[in-house]
Structure 1
Amino acid sequence: MADIYFKVHRTQLMPALDAVSEAVDTRASIPILGNVLLRPEGDVLRLSATDLAVEVQTSCELLDGGAGIAITLSGADLRDIVRKLPETAEIEFAAGAFAGQVRIQAGRSRFVLLSLPEQDFPTLMDKIKGVSFDVDIAPLAAAIGKVTYAVRHDETRFYLSGVCIHPHKDGTGLAVVGCDGHNLAVARVDAQEVREFKPSIVPIKAIKSFSKLFGDKKTKARLLVSDAMMRIEADGLVFLTKLVDGVYPDYLRTIPQANEKRAIAAVDTFRSAISRVCLVANDLDKDTVRIRIDTGSMKVSLATQEGEEADEDLPADYDDEAIEIGFNGKYLVNMLQSIPTQDVAMWLSSSASPAIFRPTIESDELYVLMPRRL
């Protein structure tokens, strides 16, 4: 009988594999980076994966600690195997017939995968040293979700290819920022014990993984921030990412200070109108959505160079002089999807000045959109 390494129930293993798979490098030129480390410790199985930019660690309960031998297996293959097994499956990991083989058995299903040595598995977790503090994970995840639309992959301006997180100037929270030169989104998260650290730029790939892993969690998280890495730990899940090596621009200087014309419109109505007029666009990156605001009303329109047109009237709370301004339609829709309230307040100055968008209730967030030439 082959040595049993450990035994685990599918309902325990599957969620853990889903979590660490966020850091598995499925196209790895270094084979160990495509593997998941499974290390039994007593009645707990600890799982880790890394692609050397992101690392995820979590754990699940074991049915049997067996010999307690750690193994590394292909993350993609193991996840596919476990996903196809019945919900009630009890999965046994044991030595295969030859060195380096691992036998996986659940009922009548049997598989053999190759294992690479545990000592070859790299880890970043023990290399991070910095400041740490607690923050509620739900508001942080929500803030990141609101600003991510404003991040673009830009190889020439790599410092914009991520979400910037830094202590708020009054020391009672975190500012979460997305900016691509056309859009600026800023959301603030309350946190009572924030420690001072330099602005950290979290890469967009890591942001997407973070949202999947922590988007539905409601507990406190422990943040550890160094000059090069950030680690977030909550509910037994540890997520570490390298930071973008660059200096984030002084985005506060781009926020207009003289926008005094205020118009209020219903978010859903406004967003739907923009989406409809964009249907006639030939190229949304070139065709401009025009917005004309007058007393009590707003007109949204788009006209292409080929002569196709669309426009729509909608109500707006506005009592200043008429103003017309143009925007990229995609940017407008993406921005409005981040507004959490029923209505949005637009603060304007002129057709050539950036516009500020805010929720109509008290909220520590704002969105700035650069205009397009009419």
Structure 2
Amino acid sequence: MPEFLFRVHRSALLPALDAVIEAVDQRATIPILGNILLVPKGSELTLRATDLAIEVETSCELLEAASGSGLTVAGSGLRDIVKNLPENAEVVFSPGAFPDQVRIQSGRSRFSLLTLPEKDFPLIGDKVSGSNLQLEIAPLIDAFMRVLYAIREDKTRNYLSGAFLHPHDSTRISVVGCDGHNLAASRVEAGAEVAFPPVIVPIRTVKAVKKLFGDSKGRADVTISDAMIRIALNGVTLVSKLVDGIFPDYARVIPPRTNHAAVASVATFKAAVSRVCLVAGDLEKDTIKLQLAPGSLKVSMNTTAGEEAAEDMPVDYSGEPVEVGFNGRYLTAMLSSVGTQDVEMHLSDAVTPGLFRPTIDRDEQFVLMPRRL
């Protein structure tokens, strides 16, 4: 039996653990799904975790490897140990006192953790085969974040519990979120011809993409099949199952542009909505009223308890007066996703959904369902 299995520096191991911990099942009823697989090979250590819905794999540089045998250990426990070691620590993995045990030592600190066999560790990443794309990761993440507010877990309508991806045209991809009250659509330039089946990426995976690749730049390798998606960049690979369902024909919900759009400052509008909502007793019941008139927008609320708040703000508008009601929380979330200084509003009447668009250089649409005044 070797004296040790491998040695690794904390500064290399901790970022790798932070990446794969995203796929560890923290409430695992199947013990091995709470573990991380560690496989030393040459000068690298491969780390992998999966809960059978998503899988994350990455690697880090080893200081030395004495064995090519893999092992699995509790993910959260290992990460906590490494995180609490000194920044300049070297971590040595050695055989434990018993067969199903690994000894972890750094300086004067020693830990013994239980292990499970490498052969029992599941793998879902090898099942992905389909359309291959090369996409700039930053615009894709930006699009995910623009539509995230319009996605929520829905057990009765699981097809709404993710971001809808589909080719918008030959070179653009649409990323869409819809929860029945909000709709957000953002287009991503692919830089090449795109062709893949429309898919729904789970909300958890959307958030994992942001966490794993949010600071990255460059083109990611993206593979999309009918049931799975794989994204690989800078030595990190994320594999995820897709939502099984058919996304609604969201284009039917998007109203046409009006002849006279109103243009308002996003910051001013958002601040006015936030202040008016201060009197709300229940944002699910109390409605924000927008009264649009040439040159001005009145934002007001009359609560079910009889309290009132109102604020006037300037807008660039020359059309007919319009009154419409919206949920204040949804309106604030939508405005937070607009990426330009000003927002273009298309409001027709009290029963037509409101259409909101960035004013320059962004191919995005935000739709908000009206509420009865």
Which band: TM-score by shorter chain?
A: over 0.9
Instruction: Give the 5 Å matches for 1:249-328.
Output: 249-257=248-256, 259-328=258-327
Q: Per the alignment, in what secondary structure is the counterpart of residue 152 of structure 1?
A: coil
Q: 1:24-173, aligned counterparts within 5 Å?
A: 24-168=24-168, 170-173=169-172
- Distance (Å, rounded) in 2 between the aligned partners of 1:254 and 1:133: 29
Local SS of the residue matching 2:7: strand
Q: Distance in 2 between matches of 1:23 and 1:142?
A: 22
**Residue type of the alignment partner of 2:7:** K
Q: Do 1:291 and 1:325's aligned partners in 2 also have CA atoms closer than 8 Å?
A: yes
Distance (whole Å) between structure 2 residues aligned to residue 2 and residue 110 of structure 1? 18
TM-score (norm 2): 0.98
Letter paired with 2:22: E
Q: Is there any run of 5+ residues in structure 2 with no aligned partner, and where?
A: none
Q: Is the 8 A contact 2:136 2:220 kept in 1?
A: yes
Q: Shift of the alpha carbon at 1:234?
A: 0.6
Paired letter, 2:37: L
C-alpha separation between the residues in 2 aligned to 1:240 and 1:108?
A: 38
Shift of 1:258: 5.2
The question of whether the paired residues in 1 share the 8 Å contact of 2:36 and 2:73 is answered with yes
What's 2:181 paired with? Answer: 182
Shift in CA distance, 225/194, structure 1 to aligned 2, threshold 3 Å: farther
Shift of residue 333, structure 1, vs aligned partner: 0.5
Taking the aligned partners of 2:230 and 2:311, their CA distance within structure 1 comes to: 47
Name the residue aligned to 1:4. Answer: 4
- Does structure 1 residue 369 correspond to structure 2 residue 342? no
Shift of 1:167: 1.1
Secondary structure of the corresponding residue to residue 64 of structure 2: coil
- Equivalents in 2 of 1:192, 1:51: separation in Å? 33
* 3-state SS in 1 of match to 2:304: coil
CA contact (8 A) 1:357 1:368 kept: yes
CA distance in 2, matches of 1:212, 1:259: 38
The answer as to whether partners of 1:49 and 1:55 remain within 8 angstroms in 2 is yes
User: Where does residue 231 of structure 2 map in the other structure?
Assistant: 232
Show the 5 A alignment for 1:347-358. 347-358=346-357
Q: Aligned partners of 2:177, 2:114: CA distance in 1, in Å?
A: 42
Preserved contact between residue 142 and residue 215 of structure 1 (Cα < 8 Å): no
Task: Determine if contact 1:6/1:69 at 8 Å carries over to the other structure.
Answer: no
Q: TM-score, normalization: structure 1? A: 0.98
| AA partner of residue 349 (structure 1) | S
Aligned mates of 2:107, 2:39 — CA distance in 1? 23
What amino acid is aligned across from residue 318 of structure 2 in structure 1?
D
Structure 1 vs Structure 2 CA RMSD = 1.1
CA distance in 2, matches of 1:159, 1:356: 23
**Structure 2 SS opposite 1:67:** coil
| Separation in 2, partners of 1:326, 1:282 | 17
Quote the sequence identity (%): 57
Q: Which AA in structure 1 matches 2:309?
A: A
Is the alpha carbon distance of 1:11 and 1:265 closer, same or farther for their aligned partners in structure 2, counting shifts above 3 Å? same
Contact 2:6/2:40 (CA < 8 Å) preserved in 1? yes
Find out whether 1:241 has 2:236 as its counterpart: no
Give CA-to-partner distance per residue, 1:294-334, whole Å, 9 cap, x none: 11111111111111111111111111111111100010110
Deviations, residues 315-367 of structure 1 (Å, cap 9, x unaligned): 11111111111100010110011111110000121121011101110311110
Kept after mapping to 2: 8 A contact 1:201/1:248: yes
Do 2:200 and 2:242's aligned partners in 1 also have CA atoms closer than 8 Å?
Answer: yes
Determine if contact 1:259/1:355 at 8 Å carries over to the other structure.
no
Rounded to whole Å, the distance in 2 between the matches of 1:326 and 1:215 is 36
User: How many residues matched?
Assistant: 373
Q: How many Å separate the matches in 1 of 2:333 and 2:201?
A: 20
Post-superposition offset of 1:96: 0.7
Inter-partner Cα distance in structure 2 for 1:141 and 1:190? 12
Question: Which amino acid in structure 2 is aligned with residue 7 of structure 1?
Answer: R
1:291 Cα offset (Å): 0.7
SS of the residue 1:270 aligns to: helix
**Unaligned 5+ residue runs, structure 1?**
none
Correspondence for 2:222:
223
